[in-house]
A and B are shown apart, each in its own frame.
Chain A
């Protein structure tokens, strides 16, 4: 029989306040198999762990039970500690006498009795635990970044600069994301494209980055270090290998379409690049509006292309890659103003959202940077900005979208710069200006640029005689405010990019209740998901501004580099296995497994386990009708002895 050592933790008064620790130590000391039984204030502390190591050596312990908190917290700590002495870490178990005992009971006598019972059952388990070795898998040192906005660009550059090959997949024909649409960024008022495009070019030219734009993720299989990804490169009907980016096709195309990049304020052609600094600077043909595809006419682009790059027969292509780590950086979208009834359901032309206003402000935008009313092109003398549209609203988005206070302050300032005789009004509830230089920036707007901040929400607005009538309030003065504005800019809320739902299903990652990707721990693991090998960066995880997106991107990249730093990856060995003599090949385990870790070997006609995909959940064990499926260190016999110890 194994020589078992039991260590009972006080956890300050968390356990010792309810459970009589000394009594537990005494009683457990008498249990068959236990050769050492002691207690300590905080087992997880340095002295506590040293105590354990010393006891293991002195008493030649062959198995450990640490009676303390939940294994979720310190199982790894104690197992690492045991390993230092040469003891197999899987011969070390934790008995949870805190969350499952002292924290939920108030009767001291009964709680003490229960603690003893819990420890007894774990002792029974350890008696039959096998000394397991961690499963080792190779790592493909190639990363996949999904999303080519500022976050995706930063991750790709960081990983590629560390010497690993990186694939960047972007669904639009150019990288750059929403940052490319911005005019200037707060609080420095740097020209957005001027700071972005050098990074974009770097990505485009980097020897270690493979860029797939106008592409989407088709399928992902595998597991950390060993993913297989299928990328669908959508047909652009232009051979990008031949195309020189001369732009003649775009110039000659007769069809004009409202430009998505310009938020429908300007136009593009049916064959187009989204903006002049696009990377790669290669055009795509919009099938839905191209005269050839809709009416079988035209083909002017083909006629004029000097290198014969137009290919109307081009098909989508599927590219397969082997990947070690995936980073999701799919970015954000804006809460549609078409959903807000009291602000007109999007019907009023002069009521626009923040990104649209950015295009009006942008020197490369549809009005060349002059702020003009979308309805009649006149210069608006009074512009009203409304914050918290859709955000902080139980009926829409309950959360705060974080960046709107700052970009509204910026909008008001830039508007004033373009039109010194104009007046900006901002309706707000609170001002959130927490970043570096943010508070000073917003104060400057009020003091120097004369932006009038009115504290209150606008209840309704409507069009009348060419103006937008606004019914608002200023709670600070207690006055209802009515303004006849020339233009209204709604700071609509930030939502996760709509593609994220589908992607989450393909990658098997979780979304939170607001549709953003869930991080593994809100405080301490903000760049990882609960799926091993898949990381997050940027607004895909939560609304944030550019400096935070860049910081998070570098954080995600560092996790990937850690993953790639060793030759092999270790995986927990508490996995399922199949007793080949008993298995009948019925396949119930295959349908029970949520991780696709079970298969039927076609030759042997029995079930197999992929030890690296297996997460040790136990579903296949219960599904198996004749007990052929077993789990290491959770055998049926062990579970029965554990139960008997309590009963």
Chain B
């Protein structure tokens, strides 16, 4: 990829501001990825998400990985640099969602799930994955 430094600094700054996390602190140790319960379902690993933000690759917004975050906070609790990776994932999602984009398509939810799942499951997934 070609690095356009001004764009890179802007993008990184936007993510840092939204998430409140110092993206440059990450030294890519991978502990977040090693402990993430859903990392094997993701197209890129959590540490790679942060790496792409550090490199200024805005294509990271199109990855599938950020829509698999379950907000379990294991990454944040184990990170040796005290970075809350779940906040970075949420900030990337919010940039997409604010452009009126829905990851979750409500008609596609299986009917048994809709019928049986406690309200928390529905509300939390709507808040994380749809623009409201």
Contact present between A and B (CB < 8 A) = yes
CA–CA, A459 to B46, complex, Å?
A: 13
In the complex, are the beta carbons of A459 and B80 less than 8 A apart?
Answer: no
Which residues of the partner chain A approach B34 to less than 8 Å between Cβ atoms? 456-460, 471-473, 480-481
In the complex, are the beta carbons of B44 and A475 less than 8 A apart?
Answer: no
With contact pairs A471-B35, A480-B34 given, residues A459 and B81 touching in the complex (Cβ less than 8 Å): no
A199 at the interface (CB under 8 A from B): no
Q: Pick the contact of B30: A342, A457, A460 (CB < 8 A).
A: A457
CA–CA, A439 to B44, complex, Å?
A: 32
In the complex, are the beta carbons of B31 and A456 less than 8 A apart?
Answer: yes
A316 at the interface (CB under 8 A from B): no
Residues 97-124 of B contacting A (Cβ, < 8 Å): none
Which residues of the partner chain B approach A388 to less than 8 Å between Cβ atoms? 29, 80
Which residues of the partner chain B approach A480 to less than 8 Å between Cβ atoms? 33-34, 39-40, 45
- Return the CB mask of B39-78 against A: 1 if under 8 Å, else 0: 1100011011000000000000000000000000010001
With contact pairs A429-B27, A460-B35 given, residues A478 and B78 touching in the complex (Cβ less than 8 Å): no
- Return the CB mask of A428-450 against B: 1 if under 8 Å, else 0: 01100000000000000000000
A392 at the interface (CB under 8 A from B): yes
Residues 436-494 of A contacting B (Cβ, < 8 Å): 455-460, 471-475, 478, 480-481
Residues 79-93 of B contacting A (Cβ, < 8 Å): 80-82
Q: How many interface residues does B have (CB within 8 Å)?
A: 20
CA–CA, A253 to B29, complex, Å?
A: 51
CA–CA, A458 to B82, complex, Å?
A: 16
Which residues of the partner chain A approach B48 to less than 8 Å between Cβ atoms? 475, 478
Which residues of the partner chain A approach B32 to less than 8 Å between Cβ atoms? 459
In the complex, are the beta carbons of B30 and A456 less than 8 A apart?
Answer: yes
In the complex, are the beta carbons of B31 and A458 less than 8 A apart?
Answer: yes
CA–CA, A395 to B78, complex, Å?
A: 9
CA–CA, A456 to B78, complex, Å?
A: 13
Most chain B beta-carbon neighbours within 10 Å: one of A392, A393, A481:
A393
A394 at the interface (CB under 8 A from B): yes
Which residues of the partner chain B approach A478 to less than 8 Å between Cβ atoms? 44-45, 48
Q: Pick the contact of B33: A342, A393, A430, A473 (CB < 8 A).
A: A473
CA–CA, A412 to B45, complex, Å?
A: 28
Instruction: Closest B residue to A456 by CB, please name it.
Output: B30
With contact pairs A392-B80, A459-B74, A459-B78 given, residues A475 and B35 touching in the complex (Cβ less than 8 Å): no
Most chain B beta-carbon neighbours within 10 Å: one of A457, A460, A471, A475:
A457
Q: Least Cβ distance of A582 to chain B in Å?
A: 58
CA–CA, A392 to B32, complex, Å?
A: 15
In the complex, are the beta carbons of B30 and A394 less than 8 A apart?
Answer: no
Residues 1-30 of B contacting A (Cβ, < 8 Å): 27-30
CA–CA, A429 to B81, complex, Å?
A: 13
Instruction: Closest A residue to B51 by CB, please name it.
Output: A475
Which residues of the partner chain A approach B40 to less than 8 Å between Cβ atoms? 480
Which residues of the partner chain A approach B33 to less than 8 Å between Cβ atoms? 456, 459, 473, 475, 480
Q: Least Cβ distance of B96 to chain A in Å?
A: 22
Q: Least Cβ distance of A104 to chain B in Å?
A: 29
Which residues of the partner chain B approach A429 to less than 8 Å between Cβ atoms? 27-29
In the complex, are the beta carbons of B31 and A394 less than 8 A apart?
Answer: no
With contact pairs A473-B45, A475-B47 given, residues A459 and B35 touching in the complex (Cβ less than 8 Å): yes
Which residues of the partner chain B approach A455 to less than 8 Å between Cβ atoms? 30
Q: Least Cβ distance of A477 to chain B in Å?
A: 10
In the complex, are the beta carbons of B47 and A394 less than 8 A apart?
Answer: no
Give me 7 other A-B pairs in contact (C-beta within 8 A), A388-B29, A473-B31 excluded: A394-B81, A394-B82, A456-B29, A456-B31, A459-B31, A474-B30, A480-B40
8 intermolecular pairs with C-beta atoms under 8 Å apart: A457-B29, A458-B31, A459-B33, A472-B34, A473-B33, A473-B34, A475-B48, A478-B45
- Chain B residues near A (Cβ < 8 Å): 27-35, 39-40, 44-45, 47-48, 74, 78, 80-82
- Chain A residues near B (Cβ < 8 Å): 342, 388, 392-396, 429-430, 455-460, 471-475, 478, 480-481
Q: Which 5 A-B pairs have the closest CB atoms?
A: A459-B35, A456-B30, A459-B34, A457-B31, A393-B80
